[in-house]
Amino acid sequence: MLPSLRCGDFVLLACWKTRLLVGDDVVVEHPHYGRIVKRIASVDGEQVTLTGTHASSVSSAQMGAIARSAIVGKVVYRITRS
């Protein structure tokens, strides 16, 4: 998620039922990539498509559609480590 997040930064998540919108940053438990932070590119019913903000990020095509149930939480606050 560079440049939005850097190694060592902290995020505060909303883990309760919350409305997910295009552009929201979320933490996802992906079956192949593990726990990752991505941005929502589209929402289609019970599935979301995710994208990264860094040029070398895993692409949406590589990840495929993600079930909403795989979303751990929505990023609501960032703490940048200096």
What residues does each domain of the chain span? 10-79
- The pTM of the full predicted model, rounded to 2 decimals, is 0.84
What CATH superfamily is the domain 10-79? Answer: Umud Fragment, subunit A (2.10.109.10)
Helical ranges in the chain per DSSP H: 60-63
Check residue 27 and give its pLDDT.
93
Taking only the tens of pLDDT, the chain with its 82 residues reads 556 788 888 888 988 877 899 999 999 998 888 998 999 999 998 999 998 877 777 778 888 899 999 999 999 998 887 7
How far apart are alpha carbons 23 and 3 in whole angstroms? 15
